[in-house]
Structure 1
């Protein structure tokens, strides 16, 4: 795979008294869709939040597009070209769908062609364009969160469990959107438990355990090795449908 756009080297993160990340080494290839797998509590979400500067690394370095961003503030990291979609489907509940996107747009101006592209994958956004985001279903809120993250072109998109609780039809739309984003040279780092979703989309994979990356390689290699899956994840992917 290509050169990394994001590299974590020996990254440690403490949250209060808890030592969550314990020396994470991870390289995300430019233009790829990289997946983080692992059991609950392995440190996947903390890794994304540390890259975004929401939690500060207590040791190690994070380099994005050749620039050390380890100590940068979250707004500066966002301006550098990284967007983050949290698992919580965080939206501004009292604002309309349109207003949620305007907040994320450069200078508060929406690009109509970009909005049309987004609504092509998520038609419900157009239907609820002037509705309060807090009144939407969980799946619709997830659409808003993803749309907000990509309303401006980004070099790197960090996405935490995007398919959780979503209907199959919405998952299919999400898959198409991510594939299209890859075609526009957007790199995606994805935390996900939907095995079929990541097997179809993933180029590279890192498996985390106890705050470290214990395996890194091509997704197709892990997907084709049942013994390795069992050792790293405690399950065979084919059995986890």
Structure 2
């Protein structure tokens, strides 16, 4: 079997006196979109931030593309090819859309073919190209945050709740954009609370509870099992249609 692109083994993370991750073990296969689901406070965001080195793992091991990155700095993890889109989006609202993209491409100007591809994913960004990013709607800001993450080729995208607070029409646009990213062969680990979006996108699923992975498998199997949905997440897909 092919070695996973990302592998967490018994990862623990403490934030101050709080023991947030309590032995997270999971694999992220290359070329897949893996959903990370769980109730509020389960440890999903902490998992992403620990992978990026923004919070340091207390113990355990994180391997990326065969390399141990557990103790690496965040800049070095980013340079290895991991991009992170936080829930806050972290765009520069006073800068134009174009300037946000330029700043994200640290190795030089964005290749014109890649820029055309990005703007094809998110057409709204082209319309607002020379306007301050602060003028964008919430959904458009989320699109810009993702576009910044892929301004340069990346090996892995970590995305935290991209559809949170978006209107249904924007959720559908986001789903289509992620489908296109999947079709392009991107490897994505995506935290999502919208189970409808998760079911539409996920190849694989990890479910967290109380700082641990309590379920892993094919997303299609979870979608087909309402009893399992209710037990793991306290919801069912029918309630989110």
Shift of 1:201: 1.0
Partners of 1:141 and 1:30 in 2: CA distance = 28
| Mean CA deviation greater in 169-178 or 26-35 | 169-178
Please list, as runs of the form range in 1=range in 2, the aligned pairs for 1:69-218 lying within 5 A after superposition: 69-218=69-218
**3-state SS in 2 of match to 1:108:** coil
DSSP-derived class of the 2:190 partner = strand
Contact 2:11 2:24 in 1 (8 A): yes
1: CA distance between counterparts of 2:108 and 2:2? 34
In structure 1, the gaps of 5 or more residues are none
- Once the two structures are TM-superposed, the CA of residue 180 in structure 1 deviates from its matched residue by 2.0
Per-residue deviation, residues 57-102 of structure 1 (Å, max 9, x unmatched): 0110000111111011111111111101111121012211111111
Secondary structure, in 3 states, of the residue corresponding to 1:214? strand
Alignment length, in residue pairs? 241
Contact 1:121 1:173 (8 Å CA) reproduced: no
Deviates more, 1:160-169 or 1:51-60: 160-169
Q: What is the alpha-carbon root mean square deviation over aligned residues?
A: 1.4
Query: Contact (CA 8 Å) 1:104, 1:148: kept in 2 or not?
Result: yes
| Deviation (angstroms), 1:121 | 2.1
- Long gaps (5+) in structure 2: none
SS of aligned partner of 2:72: coil
Give the equivalent residue in structure 1 for 2:19: 19
Q: CA deviation at 1:2?
A: 5.5
Secondary structure at the counterpart of residue 88 of structure 2: coil
Q: 1:17: how far off? A: 1.2
2:46 paired with 1:46: yes
CA–CA distance in structure 1, aligned partners of residues 2 and 223 of structure 2: 20
- Equivalent pair of 2:11/2:25 in contact (CA under 8 Å): yes
Structure 2 residue matching 1:228: 3-state secondary structure: helix
Matched, 1:234 2:229: no
* Rounded Cα–Cα distance in structure 1 between residues aligned with 2:137 and 2:47: 28
